A = this chain, B = another copy of it.
Amino acid sequence: MKASILNIGNELLSGLVVNTNASFIAQCLDGIGVSVHRIDTVSDSGDDIIFVLNHHLQQSDLIIITGGLGPTNDDITKHTLTERFGMKLQFHQPSFDNIINMFKNRGLEISETNRQQAMLPDGCIALINTQGTAPGMWFEVDSKIVISLPGVPFEMNYLMEVEVIPRLKEKVQHLTILRKLYLTTGIPESYLQDRLRDWELTLSENTQLAYLPEPGIVKLRLSVSGNNLDRVSQQFDVYESQLRDILQDEIFGTNSDTLESVIGQLLVEKKKTLSVAESCTGGFLAHLITSVPGSSIYFNGGVVSYSNQVKAELLKVDPQLIEKFGAVSQEVVIAMSQNVRQFMKTDYAIAISGVAGPDGGSVDKPVGTVWIAIASTESVQAKVFNFGEHRIRNIRRAAIAALNELRLTLEKQDLYDSKN
């Protein structure tokens, strides 16, 4: 089944509103093996809607339309579809009952405009919208399915999940699709591509590998599809283990994992605690760690040392060390990590010291130079990175790299523990 999405609304074309409806619908359809081959956005104009809809009717088996179902004058989707499919509007009692019910609950009076919302094309199936006043509409015309939904995201979400997807499932011949995201960090996309090129050539036709890069992180999406569930999952397992063999510990998680959730899980499992001392990342590292619900179990706290005075007085870094090697140095970042670990009384500590930019760079230490140290009860290690010239990306990349260094340390510890 080939599907397409048609979003109607001037607010989308002017850029005032980001089109989150399209991705929500696409994900819902993807989940039942229906793939979207086209997403179009057009204005609240009858001619534009008809023009694009006619194209979609030629190319797609299923068309999901959002928007233009409100009570105001510029909402014209219902009239346009009624006319296009040669139908007539008629009063639909269950939809009106739903509207009465909604207004009663909120203690509001019903207007004539609201009554108009219960007028529906006589050839459609009404999809009762308990979240709003505009019902959804399901048309079947010339063996095509056309579904019209309101554009308000939570109303559309409700109708997709409760009314549309269950009905579509019955119509769709099930193709099994297995999918997983593998999350990597520390390798640029082009390096990953070089590492995986030979392996990609061996993938069978029903298999896809997609690269989804973000600052500091590249996600790989592996998809295998087919008619036989057993065969598809066997194939998937083989490919997954090959991929993991090639990339090893450069994969830090899967699907909705984040580096901060992965290190959180590792710390909880090991019953270990963490503190941080950060300069150039200015609190962003602590923010990532504490954005995980329940992080107070393992995270005691952090110090943002944005001045040498704070490094010296609060973090007790020897001023002579700062004088001799500079604040951005192996010596200082090691002292920061060891000292914060001690006075926060934690098992592990991360320290970051670097030049975020735009100012503060030098020939020896250009903008983007960042020292990261990981201290534990047994050891301390420091590493230098360069993350480029852009301040905000620098901050993000440095925090991600620091979390990754901690992850590698925690995982190495696992290896060490299992050997002893």
Contact = CB atoms under 8 A, between A and B. Distances in A.
B71 A193 contact: yes
Contacts of A193: 71-73, 113
A126 interface: no
A89 to B, nearest CB: 18
Interface in A290-326: 290-291, 293-296, 299-307, 309-310, 313-314
B343 A314 contact: yes
Interface string A26-42: 11111000011111111
Contacts of A358: 293
A313 B343 contact: yes
A46 interface: no
A116 to B, nearest CB: 10
Given A39-B12, A106-B386, A295 B283 contact: no
A285 interface: yes
B307 A304 contact: no
Nearest to A13: B36
Contacts of A281: 287, 290
B39 A13 contact: yes
Interface stretch (A135-143, A168-176, A391-399, A411-419): A391-399
Q: Decide if the interface of chain A is mainly helix, strand, loop or mixed.
A: mixed
A213 interface: yes
Contact of A300 (B70, B300, B309, B389): B309
A344 interface: yes
A345 interface: yes
Contacts of A106: 368, 386-388
B22 A41 contact: yes
A210 B11 contact: yes
Interface in A97-124: 102, 105-108, 111, 113-114
A357 B105 CA distance: 14
Interface string A346-385: 0000000000111110000010100000000000000000
Minimum-distance CB pairs A-B, first 6: A282-B290, A283-B286, A15-B26, A15-B27, A283-B283, A39-B41
Interface of A: 10-20, 22-30, 35-43, 48, 52, 55, 70-74, 102, 105-108, 111, 113-114, 131, 133, 152, 154, 188-191, 193-194, 200, 210-213, 215, 221, 276, 281-287, 289-291, 293-296, 299-307, 309-310, 313-314, 343-345, 356-360, 366, 368, 386-393, 395
Given A283-B283, A296-B306, A299-B306, 15 more contacts: A13-B38, A15-B27, A18-B18, A40-B41, A71-B189, A72-B190, A72-B211, A105-B388, A111-B194, A282-B287, A283-B286, A286-B286, A287-B287, A290-B356, A313-B343
